[in-house]
Structure 1
Amino acid sequence: MFFKSFFDENLAQMSYMVGCQKTGEALVIDPARDITPYLETSRKEGFDITSISETHIHADFLSGARELAHQTGAKLYLSDEGEDDWKYAFAEEYSHQWLKGGDQFYVGNVRLDVLHTPGHTPESLSFLLTDEGGGSEVPMGIFTGDFVFVGDIGRPDLLEKAAGAAGTADQGARQMYKSIQAFKELPDYVQLWPGHGAGSACGKSLGAVPTSTVGYEKINNWALTTENEHQFSDELLEGQPEPPTYFGMMKKLNKEGPALLSVDQSIDQLTAEDVEQLTAKGTAVIDTRSKETFAEGHLKGTLNIPFNKGFANWAGWLINYDQDIVIISDEEQVRDIQKALQSIGLDRLVGYVLSEEVNHQENLETYTSITAEELEKKFKNEDDYIIVDVRNQSEWDEEHMEEAIHVMLGTLPDRLNEIPDNKTPIVHCQSGVRSAIATSVLQANGFKDTLNLKGGFGAWKDYSQ
């Protein structure tokens, strides 16, 4: 048997390829939208991708299942559990088989037993793998998707918070408890292959270790050691992070079928002089340079989302799906940035401006970062300044400045009216990364004198003690 995992660090998302070396057939589980790694691996290892499966309709990334089926002709194995509202609408276009708990299917001589594991979503499936071709009569591991992670379990509140399905959070928590009891009946030696690792918003405290075993999780995963159902539900629902606004769109697109990608999609090179006109007509212009470089000089109306691990997440929060997008970046990063945007369905990248061209412009906007000591001095005159805390709700609840107002970064574009236009905003997060993005949002929306707190709340706390 062949086994390979793929990790998208931008989304903390895991996908897998399983192959039968005797028959040359391969299965891809939960493919990302960029299917290049699967095609390259199958060519290198001599496999034909004949099967594609998904554990559930994803909310945090755009699936590559339709793209992979379109390019390879592989058969789709998709959930037929849950209500009719959450069925894959695009499956009829391709060879497919609907799956329910208790079913099984094969990839060559590798057997996949289907478990219905609702909780994160009603249609959620897990796949228990047995390598019959290798002579095994017992399962090797289980693909759990967003059901069980290393150290945590999937959140049941996304349908309610991101897709507007009222009442589903409590129902999902009850379903998750029952699913966990069944999971604990699996043998301890079964390996755990989850759909996400640390950094995903699909759970509260996902581990950074990519794999585990059922036995290890029985001992160390809080959800598998909590026996009281009410206590389990309360702990599961409490303190879940705000789901990014794009999660609702991901559920919709993954259900209906993501658009097929054009390999030759053109991206025009533009000039810095074009940017003012573009922003005026509603184009989102994302400056992907570092926050330090952006602070020293940037074009008016641009948003600063540095191209790093958090790029796709914050782009999904802050960019509308009906907007054209232009990026400011180095030329060698343009295609990688495009892939990151496409991974969450932001497909309207129409142009780019070279970073070096912006660096050489005159009359650029700047912003100032101040220290905690400078903040204290400035805020003695409360009539002139307003402190804006852009951290998550859980961070705010734990501790915050009494004088601050709370506007979580991802919600900032829709809550600008909460910031008085007769005061200078002083923005902070925990360390200074998110507040730099927030400062660019405020400047682009007319708060030109916005100040950024250097080192964030952590620096303020150290100073004030």
Structure 2
Amino acid sequence: MAASLGYANVKGFVEGIPAWKKAGLPVAVEPQHILSEISQGVSFVLIDLRPKTLAEKGYIPGAVNLPLEKLKAAKKQFPKQKNAPIFVYDEKDERALLAINIIKNWGYTNIAYIPGGLESWKKAGGKVEVGKPSSKIVYVHKPRPGTFSVEEFKKLLKSPTLPANYFILDVREVNETQEGSFPHAVNIPLGELEKRLNEIPKDKTIIIHCATGIRAEMAYNILKRAGFKAYYLNANVSFENGKYKIEPKD
């Protein structure tokens, strides 16, 4: 698509987000994603890195004001869960990237910044609050709607046979399954899912997975609209040398 628009120097990072993070590269998140998380009641930490006087003139609802210069001193405020979603923003993206490195060095694995900060939030239609923002982090973990427990899924995989009331759906591309797949899983790529719903049993609990949880969540929404009893793994899933690794995202 990019090439057809006239761009000649286009590259793709085929390994996806897990490998991107493993390489130590920063992750950006669009305001629309934050708005979606809010609408679903998903728990996350949102940090406004700007000076207090600037934050009081307007900030993203729910944001905690921890100026970059004071961030290190606030380490003990951060969640015990090292995979808790943490989003940061500032007037300058360079400062947000500095904050990401600080928080990452504390062992947190699910950090991203909002490019453009408050201005990009406004352009996306996000509301802005004026006044004194909170300076204390309060994080209460809540499972994302439609998610299936990673620990329970691992127990299913260890069973000699998959219980008759479950159906594992792998929505990765066919070439991705060459790296490995779960026992008893059926592969139907996300792009083919709506045309192949007749291959999925309606009398079973469907557990969906992909490589990062993103496509699995999209598949979950498709099946939910179609009347299936479905759940998805919000996890990074990888296969290597006949073994699998499942890392919960939050």
TM-score, scaled to structure 2 = 0.42
Larger radius of gyration: 1
Greater relative contact order, per chain length (Cα 8 Å cut-off, separation 6+) = 2
TM-score, scaled to structure 1 = 0.24
Instruction: Name the one with the larger strand percent.
Output: 1
